[in-house]
């Protein structure tokens, strides 16, 4: 079986500030960032006078144990899109995950996020809520039945 995972990759005008934001607002853990070397900066076409410590060539953090990578948008002004949302889904039968997701939502609503739909019970079961963060990124928080297994997920192959 292939070992594959999808990792959201976000571009920011200032990834250094964004990482701090996600640490403060989303309780992000394991944050890191790497600045370019002078040689890499030259290859990227950055001005020789730029403060390399302020530039993030690659970085990342984890929200509820999920990897998210990021960097400065060195190719131009980044824009957020409503075409892609990030969903954090937990098994509604795992009380620790349900509690952690609920705590994350409560923390988010006390911050500067815009609540699109409150974290409430859904007709299909579980709870779901949707927020937009300070960078215009939509986050969907979802409790759901996790009835599929790796075996059934690969039946279409």
In eight-state DSSP terms, residue 113 is: P
**Residue 106 maps to a domain:** yes
Q: What is the pLDDT of residue 154?
A: 45
Which residues form the domain of 50?
9-72
- Give tens-digit pLDDT for 35-88: 999 999 999 899 889 999 999 999 999 999 999 999 999 888 888 888 999 999
pLDDT over threshold 70, residue 149: no
**Residue 4 maps to a domain:** no
Interior/surface letters 76-114, b for 16+ CB within 10 angstroms, e for the rest: eebeeeeeeeeebbbebeeeebbebbbebbeebeeeebe
**Residue 78 maps to a domain:** no
| 68 and 92 housed in the same domain | no
- Give tens-digit pLDDT for 99-134: 999 999 999 999 989 999 999 999 888 999 999 999
pTM assigned to the model: 0.87
| 103 and 144 housed in the same domain | yes
| Count of domains for the chain | 2
């Amino acid at each position: 079986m292939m070992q594959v995972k999808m990792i959201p990759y976000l571009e920011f005008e200032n990834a250094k500030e964004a990482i701090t934001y996600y640490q403060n607002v989303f309780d992000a853990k394991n944050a890191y960032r790497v600045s370019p070397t002078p040689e890499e900066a030259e290859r990227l076409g950055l001005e020789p006078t730029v403060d390399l410590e302020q530039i993030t060539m690659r970085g990342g953090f984890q929200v509820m144990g999920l990897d998210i990578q990021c960097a400065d948008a060195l190719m131009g002004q980044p824009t957020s899109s409503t075409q892609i949302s990030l969903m954090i889904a937990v098994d509604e039968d795992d009380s620790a995950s349900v509690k952690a997701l609920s705590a994350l939502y409560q923390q988010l609503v006390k911050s500067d996020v815009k609540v699109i739909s409150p974290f409430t019970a859904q007709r299909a079961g579980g709870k779901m809520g949707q927020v937009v963060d300070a960078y215009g990124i939509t986050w969907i928080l979802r409790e759901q039945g996790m009835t599929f297994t790796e075996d059934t997920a690969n039946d279409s192959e």
